[in-house]
Amino acid sequence: MFKQFLAWITGNAITTFARFITAVRAIWDGVEPVPAQRVYFANHTSNGDFILIWTVLPPNLRSRTRPVAGADYWLTSPLRTFIGRDVFNAVLIDRNSETRTDDPMQLILDGIDTGASLIIFPEGTRNMTDAPLLPFKSGIFNISEARPEVDLVPVWIDNLNDVMPKGKLVPIPLLCTVTFGAPIRAEAGEAREDFLKRAEAALLNLAPKDKQPVDAEVAA
């Protein structure tokens, strides 16, 4: 009971801080903030990415949306464990294939089967390059194939990588936006590569025009 209360306070402190620094705004572009079960997939440039998505979700959606995060990071200290497990209620998966005991895909599907929405980062790791996106891992294809009735919603997070670049302890305040796009699903018989390409394009399409690669703009 007390721990729950503490987690609620901490969650609100984190979202308030995120708003103070970024004045973050949600843009619902092709999908509405309604309580449907979804897998949100987003670009990943900063440790604060899922916090920003979590902050802009309306409270009734937020309480049933769980980020998928690395257990190897979130279970390494009591504070991180509290934040990862109690505040964000994350689906914690061990990214290290040698030490893990549970199958990550099974944990994710279990999460979906409890009725929760999920936030995942299909690039698998933080993008430190100049490219707008790293190639997607297969996870979202496997999810969509196993649970074809769940919508996959692309989410573009803008500017957060400049707020707190890797290795800097103090954030600089900049306006950020979180853009939610039209949902996609893997179609019956669709090849893995085709689906992943489609998902990448759907996500990239939400980025501001000046951040999209030139050839993508020509193609579109």
Partner 1 sequence: MNGMHADFLTLLAGIIGLLIVASGVGYALKQRIAPDGNNATIENLNARILAWWGMTAFLAVAFLAGRGGVILLFAFVSFAALREFVTLTDRRRADHWAIAAAFFVILPAQYALIWCEWYGMWSALIPVYAFLILPIIAVLQSDTEDFLMRISQMQWSLMICVFCASHVPALLFLDIPGFEGRNVLLIAFLIVVVQLSDVLQYTWGKLLGRHPVAPKLSPSKTWEGLIGGVASATLIGTALWWITPFTPLQAALMSLIITLAGFFGGLVMSAIKRDRGVKDWGHMIAGHGGFIDRLDSVVFSAPIFFHLTRYFWSMT
**Residues engaged in binding partner 1 (CB under 8 A):** 23, 25, 159, 162, 165, 168, 170-175
Contact 74, 81 (CB under 8 A): yes
Phi, then psi, of 201 in degrees rounded to 5:
-65, -40
Of the pair 26, 105, the CB lying nearest partner 1 is at: 26
Q: What is the dihedral of CA 8, 42, 154, 53, to 10 degrees?
A: 20
* Minimal distance, residue 13 CB to partner 1, in Å: 19
CA separation for the pair 46, 53 (Å, rounded): 12
* Minimal distance, residue 19 CB to partner 1, in Å: 11
Token reading at 23:
């004045």
Closest by CA position to 35, among listed 115, 148, 146 = 115
Of the pair 158, 200, the CB lying nearest partner 1 is at: 158
Of the pair 32, 130, the CB lying nearest partner 1 is at: 130
E strand or H helix that includes residue 117: strand 117-120
* Minimal distance, residue 45 CB to partner 1, in Å: 13
* Minimal distance, residue 177 CB to partner 1, in Å: 8
Of the pair 165, 213, the CB lying nearest partner 1 is at: 165
